[in-house]
Amino acid sequence: MAKKIFFITGTDTDVGKTVVATGLLQAANQQGLRTAACKPVAAGCEDRGSGPQNDDALQLQSAANYSLSYQQVNPVALDLPMAPHIAAQEQGRRLSASRLSGFCRGLTLLPIDILAIEGAGGWQVPLNNRETMADIPKQLNAEVILVVGIRLGCINHALLTARAIRSDGLKIAGWVGNIIDPDMLRADENIDTLKQMIIEPCLGVIPRLPDICPLQVATHLTIPD
C-alpha cells in the first residue's frame, strides 16, 4: 500500500506540473523508493495507434519505476486540449470526482512508497457543474504539492491557491517554483517573497533548463517528508 500520496496541482495551466511530478519521481527513484504515477483525466490526447494518449501522462508513466499500463496511468483520455469538463461534454461523457478518485484509490493498494497524482489545470478546474479537480485529493486525503509558475502575477496566484487548498482541509506538503519566464524582472525577489508568505516549505526552485529531463529536475528538488 502506498505510504505517501501526493497530488500535484498548479497555480494555473502550463506552469510545469509534469516537470515537477517527473522530477520528484526521479528523485524518489534515486533514493530506492518504489514509485507510481497517475493522471486520472487528461484533455489533449492523440491516437498513435494504441488509442488516445496524452504526452504528460506518458512522461509520468516513464518516470515512475513501478510498471503500469497506460490505461492505469491515464484512465480518462479526452481528445481536445481544453477544460476537461467541456472536452468530456463534447465526447458525450461525464466526469465525476468519485470515479476519478476511484481509479487512483486502486493504485494506492500497490506495493509502492509514493503515488504521484497529477491534476489538470489549476486547483479548482471544474469536473462537472458541482465538482472540481480539488475533490479528487479531498476524497483521497492526499497531500498537495503546489507548483508555482514564476512569472508576473505569481505571488497573487500562489497565495490564493495555497489559501484555497488549506480551506479545503488538505495539507500542503510543500511548493515548487518553476521559472517559466526567463525575462521576468526581480524573479529572485518574487521567490523570496513567496518563501516568506507561504508557511509550507519550498521544495525547490527549477531554473530554466536547456534540456528539461527528470534527471536534471530532480537535482533541484527535495522530496517531502
Phi, psi of 5 (to 5 degrees): -120, 115
Q: What is the pLDDT of residues 101-123, one digit of tens each?
A: 999 999 999 999 999 999 999 99
Tens-place pLDDT, residues 195-213:
999 999 999 999 998 878 9
C-alpha 132, offset from chain centre: 15
Kindly report, residue by residue over 173-184, the tens digit of the pLDDT: 999 999 999 999
Burial (CB < 10 A; 0-12, 13-18, 19+), residue 112, is: buried
Rounded CA gap, 213 and 171, in Å?
28
DSSP of 24-46: HHHHHHHTT--EEEE-SEEES-E
- Write down the domain spans for the chain: 4-218
Question: Could you tell me the pLDDT band of residue 84, with boundaries at 50, 70 and 90?
Answer: very high
SS (H, E, C) 77-134: EECCCCCHHHHHHHCCCCCCHHHHHHHHHHHHCCCCCEEEEEEEEECCCECCCCCECC
pLDDT in tens, 15-50: 999 999 999 999 999 999 999 999 999 999 999 888
Please give the pLDDT value at position 38: 98
**Predicted pLDDT of residue 209:** 87
Q: Which residues are identified as catalytic?
A: 39
pLDDT digits (tens, 9 = 90+) for 132-155: 999 999 999 999 999 999 999 999
Which fold is adopted by the domain 4-218? Rossmann fold (3.40.50)
